[in-house]
C-alpha cells in the first residue's frame, strides 16, 4: 500500500471492521467533511429553496460560483457539493439547515448542527466539526475539522444507506440549468475511482495541504458492499482499491464480530420535517428535474451569470503559484472574449473561477466557441493522478513514481 497516515476497511453491509491503521485518531479530513454536511442537511427536501448568503458566496475555490441573494434548490447544491466538491454549496446547505432549525424554535449554529449530526450518527472519537466544507488552516472556520477514519466510515456508511445521497455520489457527471439560466456541468472529483474500479459506487475525495490527499471509496460486487477510508496518502485511490480488493476477498463467514461500527439510523438525523422546507422527494425517490449523465469527461465547465472571486487563494504550492500566473494570462483572454460576446448578447456571462483550492494548480481554458472550462483543481488532479497510477501500478513504488511525474508537470 502507498504510504498512508490512517485507513479503515469496513463491510458496509454488516458494519464489520476488516482492517484498520490509526483509525481512531482525529485528523484533518478535508472535503470528506462534506459527507457529514450532506447528512446534516438531509432534512432539506431536494426542491427546497436556499437563498445564498454572503459567507456562502465568499467561500474559496472549489466553488459553484453562487452569488449573494441568488436562490438555488437544495438538490442543485447537494449535487455541486458531493460531485464537484463545491465549498460554497456546502456552506449554503449548512446555513440553510441551521436557519430552518432556528425557525423551528431551536438555538442552532453551523457548529451545533454538525455536532448534533455527529452525535446522531454515533461518531465515537470526539470529532471537531466547525467547517462544513472541510477547509482548514487560515481558510477554515476556527482552524477546521478533525475526524478519525473510523468516524468518517460511520458517516460514509450512513450516506450509502440514504438512496438519494447515494445516487448523487455515484454520478460521474451531472448537468442542470442554474437559477440565472446558465448551463452547469459538474464533473466528479472522484471520477478516477468511479471510472477505474469494478463495481465502484462513490463516494468522495478530499485535499488540503494539511490533510493531504484523502478518499472515501465504496464498491459493490456480488451483493456485498465494501467501504474504505484513506487519509493523508501518497496515492489514496491505489490504497483504497487495494483495501477494497482485500475486503471482497474476505469471506463473510470469516468476519470478526468483535469490531463493529454502530448501526445506521437515518431516522435519528431527521426526526421531523424542518419548518419552512418543502416536503418534496426525499431519500427513497429522486427529485423531478434534469436527468444526470454518467458519460466520462475530462473537466468541468460552468456557464452561469456573474463571476465569483474567492476570499483567498490560500496555501498555494510552487506549482500552484506557477498555475496562478497562467490563470492571470488566460483570464485576460477570457475577459476579452466576454466583452466580444456581450456586444452580441449583453445578458450572457461566464463564470471564470478556475479551481485553485488548497495548494493545487489549475487554470481557465477558453474553447473555440468562447466557452469557459475550469481545469481540474488540486483535489480533482490528485484524484486523476492516482487513477492513472491505479491502472498501471501494483506497488507503492510505482505509484510514487507516477505521482512524482505528475508533480513535475505541475499537476499535483
Three-state SS sequence of 191-233: HHHHHHCCCEEEEEEEEECCCEEEEEEEEEECCEEEEEEEEEE
The CATH code of the domain at 4-268 is: 3.40.710.10
In tens, the pLDDT along 337-387 reads 555 444 443 332 333 333 323 333 233 332 333 333 344 455 655 555 444
Helix (H) or strand (E) holding 96: helix 87-103
- Give the pLDDT confidence score for residue 4 in this predicted structure: 95
175 is annotated as an active-site residue: no
Least confident stretch, 117-126, 135-144, 307-316, 379-388: 307-316
Name the pTM for this structure: 0.72
CA distances from 388 to 99, 381, 384, 399 (A): 43, 11, 6, 9
Mean pLDDT over 147-159 rounds to 98
- Please, where in the chain does CATH 3.40.710.10 lie? 4-268
204 is annotated as an active-site residue: no
- Residue 293: is its pLDDT beyond 70? no
* Mean of the per-residue pLDDT values of the chain: 76
Long-range contacts: 332-339, Cβ < 8 Å, 24+?
A: 333/366, 334/364, 334/366, 334/372, 337/366, 337/370
CA distances from 409 to 190, 237, 313, 388, 405 (A): 21, 20, 21, 14, 7
- Give the pLDDT confidence score for residue 348 in this predicted structure: 26
The pairing of beta strand 71-73 with beta strand 183-187: unpaired
Exactly one of 20, 42, 85, 192 is catalytic; name it: 85
Work out the pLDDT band at 333, boundaries 50, 70, 90.
Answer: low
- Give the pLDDT confidence score for residue 325 in this predicted structure: 54
Q: Which residue has the higher pLDDT, 197 or 411?
A: 197
Cell of 360: 493545487
- Residue 19: is its pLDDT beyond 80? yes
- The torsion angles phi and psi of 301, rounded to 5 degrees, stand at -125, 140
- Give the pLDDT confidence score for residue 328 in this predicted structure: 57
407 is annotated as an active-site residue: no
Q: Please name the residues in contact with 298: beta carbons below 8 A apart, sequence gap of 6 or more.
A: 187
Least confident stretch, 24-33, 168-177, 308-317: 308-317
Exactly one of 20, 31, 178, 377 is catalytic; name it: 31
Work out the pLDDT band at 269, boundaries 50, 70, 90.
Answer: confident
- Give the pLDDT confidence score for residue 100 in this predicted structure: 84
Q: Based on the number of CB atoms within 10 Å of its own CB, is 348 exposed (0-12), middle (13-18) or buried (19 or more)?
A: middle
Amino acid at each position: 500500500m502507498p504510504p498512508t497516515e490512517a485507513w479503515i476497511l469496513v463491510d458496509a453491509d454488516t458494519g464489520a471492521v476488516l482492517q484498520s491503521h490509526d483509525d481512531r485518531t482525529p485528523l484533518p479530513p478535508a472535503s470528506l467533511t462534506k459527507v457529514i454536511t450532506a447528512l446534516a442537511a438531509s432534512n432539506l427536501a431536494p426542491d427546497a429553496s436556499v437563498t445564498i448568503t454572503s459567507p456562502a458566496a465568499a467561500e474559496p475555490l472549489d466553488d459553484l460560483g453562487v452569488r449573494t441573494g441568488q436562490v438555488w434548490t437544495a438538490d442543485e447544491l447537494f449535487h455541486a457539493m458531493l460531485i464537484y466538491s463545491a465549498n460554497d454549496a456546502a456552506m449554503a446547505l449548512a446555513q440553510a439547515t441551521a436557519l430552518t432549525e432556528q425557525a423551528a424554535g431551536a438555538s442552532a449554529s453551523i457548529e451545533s448542527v454538525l455536532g448534533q449530526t455527529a452525535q446522531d450518527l454515533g461518531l465515537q472519537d470526539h470529532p471537531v466539526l466547525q467547517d462544513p466544507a472541510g477547509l482548514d488552516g487560515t481558510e477554515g472556520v476556527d482552524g477546521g475539522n478533525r475526524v478519525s477514519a473510523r468516524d468518517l466510515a460511520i458517516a460514509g456508511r450512513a450516506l450509502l444507506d440514504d438512496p438519494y445521497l447515494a445516487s448523487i455520489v455515484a454520478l460521474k457527471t451531472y448537468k442542470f440549468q442554474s437559477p440565472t439560466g446558465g448551463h452547469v456541468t459538474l464533473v466528479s472529483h472522484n471520477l478516477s475511482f468511479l471510472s477505474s474500479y469494478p463495481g465502484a459506487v462513490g463516494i468522495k475525495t478530499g485535499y488540503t495541504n494539511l490533510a493531504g490527499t484523502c478518499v472515501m471509496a465504496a464498491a459493490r460486487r456480488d451483493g456485498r458492499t465494501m467501504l474504505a477510508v484513506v487519509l493523508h496518502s501518497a496515492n489514496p485511490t491505489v490504497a483504497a482499491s487495494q483495501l477494497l480488493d482485500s475486503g471482497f476477498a474476505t469471506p463473510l463467514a470469516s468476519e470478526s464480530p468483535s469490531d463493529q461500527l454502530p448501526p445506521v439510523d437515518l431516522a435519528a438525523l431527521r426526526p421531523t420535517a424542518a419548518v419552512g422546507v418543502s416536503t418534496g422527494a426525499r431519500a427513497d425517490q429522486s427529485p423531478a428535474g434534469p436527468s444526470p449523465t454518467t458519460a466520462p469527461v475530462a473537466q468541468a465547465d460552468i456557464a452561469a451569470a456573474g463571476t465569483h472571486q474567492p476570499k483567498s487563494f490560500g496555501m498555494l504550492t510552487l506549482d500552484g503559484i506557477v498555475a496562478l500566473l497562467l490563470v492571470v494570462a488566460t483570464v485576460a483572454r477570457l475577459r476579452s472574449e466576454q466583452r466580444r460576446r456581450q456586444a452580441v448578447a449583453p445578458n450572457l456571462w461566464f463564470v471564470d473561477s478556475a479551481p485553485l483550492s488548497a495548494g493545487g494548480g489549475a487554470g481557465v481554458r477558453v474553447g473555440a466557441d468562447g466557452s469557459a472550462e475550469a481545469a481540474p483543481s488540486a483535489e480533482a488532479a490528485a484524484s486523476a493522478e492516482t487513477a492513472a497510477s491505479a491502472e498501471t501500478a501494483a506497488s507503492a513504488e510505482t505509484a510514487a513514481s507516477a505521482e512524482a511525474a505528475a508533480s513535475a508537470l505541475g499537476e499535483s
